[in-house]
Structure 1
């Protein structure tokens, strides 16, 4: 009887039921869309952090670079020897550690032994500045009294190498100069025995192979995709750093965003090139429990003085750009807007249900006169409201999921600017400070997605039921207060 009457009454009031359902649907759809976009923002931020941190890394340990000594510039310098030939090729590599002050390799073992630390591995970040080109010696020319011109190269007695002439003017140096190219790139020395944690963890070998655990001194390198394209490197290509010849064994592509590292080489070779024997610039740490990262951070800071421990939460605060702006908008404005719209939808549904009950005075009064108790009348109104709520929930889920998939299909591009954390060094795949302790910023481009989870769908169903209950409760309360006499008064 209840089901038959419910179906008949909803059929009679299709327009009213549809208005209530649509109001709830819009509120629920907005909640789904905002929740999905917020999840997409979080996922995009994770991608950004992974490009720096490396998969599986919970925190890093670095040490802030100290100020250069008085009178020292802290920057790169190059020296070329003078030769007598008129055109001489010159080439020099300047290899400097970057990202922070060097740490002793023994600290890696000490960090790994801290309570709550599952594993730790060290890496050394280097910046290589290569200058190559040639000097061309100029020639001193003088004009004689008869109008003829003589030239000298490397003479003595006069500025520019010219020699005095009784009948000529001052010698003029013509030609000569220098033509040099400067190429700067980043190199990270990785512990080839523990590649699952640290810089290479977020990279995927797309060509060739990675390092072998036994190749600690092998003169081989893995090159980032972008740098390989720029230099036209392939597996088998060779290059030289400070006289050491390396062979490319693999091309690595970051799992997400862009890598800030150009070359990866074995840690021991990086320490030799950077004159940093038994030193690292960053220690990557994985905690035994991801929920206790803050506790592990305090443990490391208290037991290893002078170091800076940076977690993913700390690093997230350095992300700026449109990703940060959109994330803040979705988190604050979006969620509050969803709450306001949802509250308005619930209120409208309740008022429309209550208004519908007011127009059914004769119907409910007659039912009571026929013997229906108040609880049965209330159950009827609540049942109708629940059906309206479920219909609204279904429509809301369809609209919200459609909007989320539309965002994913369009995939708007967001930019993320990554700054270093207090001069302590970069995280994971890239250096965080340049020569002399300068901080660097890397701009990455991330495609926004809006994934819809089962939790979001469950939330939508819960909101639909809640909206139906609120509307039904208000309408049922009003219906239960009607008396049979009200029906008689409404008869014209």
Structure 2
């Protein structure tokens, strides 16, 4: 009886049911699109951050910044004197620790021993400045005698006191120096723990990555852009401060710039920089992503003289159109969804209540025939819930279409990261060479729809039907059989 009466009433009141369902569908579709776009924003931001600190890293530990002016060092280059006339070609490499701030290698073990830390690995960021070229000696060209004519003769004859000695005059011609300065970054990575560190933000596209046994081997992995510039490939050799390294692989950054031009084993990097048992950055993976803040607090408390930077800290430094769109989706979009949903629920409730008012004689007659108030109320609520479910189906369809349209268009957003990030970027997540310049990445926006979003849409549809049914049910429960008689003409 319930379903028969329900089917008849919905068929008889198609227009009112369609209005209620359409209002709910619009609100639900907007919620799906906004939620999906927000998820896409989060995914794009994660991609930007991953390009900086690598996959699996939750935070980094670096040495606390020194006061301005302290610890600064100017690079000095020294060349040997040459006895031959040509001067000869000379070159000199200067390997400097990036940022000139290092931590003791034992700090890695201290970090790894902290509660909530799943793994920790150290890395050494280096900057290599190579000056090469040659000196060419100039030639002294002697000119004519510049003394007075008479004085010269007198002096020549008698060597009188007033005579001027001949002073040859001339000038230096040719000579000079032609030197080229080449600067590139080198990163010493712990090859025994390949799952952490900046190299995880790149993919090996040629050759291979490091073997865990190559802790002190003269091998290197080159960034694809640097390899193209220097015409390197797997099997080539590069020389850093007189040491030849064999390039075993080419790594291509997943997004944006790579962390360094060359990657070498950590121990080799420490030897080149004369920084034995030193690291610049410690990459940390937490046991639980929900405990990152507590792990950060513990590290700052237990390991003094360090700066701990999480991905959330770095996310605050992201600017550009990605940040703007993310803010709009998180604030304006969500509030707009709430307003539309509330309006749709109110409209559905008012329309249902109004429909009950037009059915006073019908419900009064049913009560006179023996229907109790609870049965009438359940009938009205059932009709409203069905309208809500129909609206939910339409809303899910519209929402999926909207999310698909956003993904198909894939608008390009820009994310800017630079020195505005503060100390968190100083040799930490920012990686080698990123402290001074602003970095801009182009990220394609997608709108992935999760199952939880679909479940939320179904829940909103049921909630909308229940709210509308509550309005109508309350109105129907107050009807009396006598009301029907007053409507009889």
TM-score (norm 1): 0.87
**Does residue 16 of structure 1 match 2:22?**
no
Assess if the C-alpha contact under 8 Å between 2:389 and 2:465 holds in 1. yes
Q: Name the CA distance, whole Å, in 2 between partners of 1:428 and 1:266.
A: 20
Q: Tell me the residue number matched to 1:165.
A: 144
Q: Is the 8 A contact 2:222 2:247 kept in 1?
A: yes
- In structure 1, how many angstroms separate the alpha carbons of the residues matched to 2:484 and 2:257? 73
Partner deviation per Cα, 1:379-415 (whole Å, 9 max, x = no partner): 1211111111001101111111111122122222222
Change (3 A) 1:69 1:331: closer
Report the CA distance shift for 1:75/1:338 in structure 2 as closer, same or farther (over 3 A). Answer: farther
Larger Rg: 2
Please tell me the root mean square deviation across aligned C-alpha atoms, in Å: 2.7
Change (3 A) 1:401 1:136: farther
Q: Deviations over 1:110-149 (max 9, x none)?
A: 2222233222211000112334445566xxxxxxxxxxxx
Q: Secondary structure at the match of 1:319?
A: coil
CA distance in 1, matches of 2:172, 2:365: 117
CA separation in 1, counterparts of 2:241 and 2:69? 26
Shift in Å at residue 227 of structure 1?
Answer: 2.3
Aligned pairs for 1:300-311 within 5 A: 300-311=299-310
Matched, 1:51 2:51: yes
Partners of 1:299 and 1:98 in 2: CA distance: 27
Output aligned runs, 1:458-473, within 5 Å.
Answer: 458-473=455-470
- The aligned runs of 1:40-439 (5 Å cut-off) are 40-67=40-67, 74-80=73-79, 83=82, 85=85, 88-99=88-99, 101-134=101-134, 153-155=138-140, 162-166=141-145, 179-419=178-418, 421-423=421-423, 425-427=426-428, 430-431=431-432, 439=436
- Once the two structures are superposed, residues 15-36 of structure 1 have per-residue CA deviations (whole angstroms, 9 ceiling, x without a partner) of 2111111110110111111111
Q: Distance in 2 between matches of 1:103 and 1:25?
A: 58
The counterpart of 1:441, out of the listed 438, 442, 445, is 438
1:472 positional shift: 0.9
Q: Is the 8 A contact 2:139 2:175 kept in 1?
A: no
Q: Map Cα deviations across residues 28-72 of structure 1 (whole Å, 9 max, x no partner).
A: 1111111111111111222222222222222211013435757x9
After superposition, the Cα gap between the structure-2 partners of 1:415 and 1:81, relative to the gap in structure 1 and judged at 3 Å, is farther
Measured in 2, the distance between the counterparts of 1:268 and 1:375 equals: 80
3-state DSSP class of the match of 2:443?
A: strand
Match of 1:477 among 462, 466, 474: 474
Q: Are the equivalent residues in 1 in contact too, given 2:198–2:259 (CA < 8 A)?
A: no
CA contact (8 A) 1:260 1:442 kept: no
Q: What are the ranges of 5 or more consecutive residues in structure 2 without an aligned counterpart?
A: 148-168
The question of whether the paired residues in 1 share the 8 Å contact of 2:49 and 2:314 is answered with yes
Q: Indicate conservation of the 8 Å contact 1:123/1:281, yes or no.
A: yes
Cα pair 1:222 1:250 within 8 Å, conserved:
yes
C-alpha distance in structure 2 between counterparts of 1:396 and 1:115, whole Å: 46
How many Å apart are 1:353 and its aligned residue? Answer: 1.4
CA apart distance, 1:466: 0.3
Q: Secondary structure of 2:422's partner? A: coil
User: Matched residue of 1:422: which SS?
Assistant: helix
CA distance in 2, matches of 1:422, 1:75: 23
Instruction: State the Cα deviation string for residues 194-220 of structure 1 (Å, max 9, x = none).
Output: 212222233332221111122122111
- 1:279-333 CA-to-partner distances (Å, cap 9, x unmatched) read 1101112223332222222222222211111122222222222222221211111
The verdict on how the C-alpha distance between 1:296 and 1:329 changes in structure 2, with shifts beyond 3 A counting, is same
**DSSP 3-state at the match of 1:276:** coil
Task: Give me the whole-angstrom Cα distance separating, in 1, the residues matched to 2:481 and 2:304.
Answer: 82
Q: Determine which of 447, 450, 454 is the counterpart of 1:453.
A: 450
Distance 1:490 1:282, change over 3 A: same
Residue 213 of structure 2 aligns to a residue whose secondary structure is: coil
Q: Give yes or no for contact 2:139–2:172 (8 Å, CA) kept in 1.
A: no
Q: Secondary structure of the equivalent of 2:282?
A: strand
Which one is further off, 205-214 or 227-236? 227-236
301 and 63 in structure 1: CA distance in 2 versus 1, 3 angstrom threshold: same
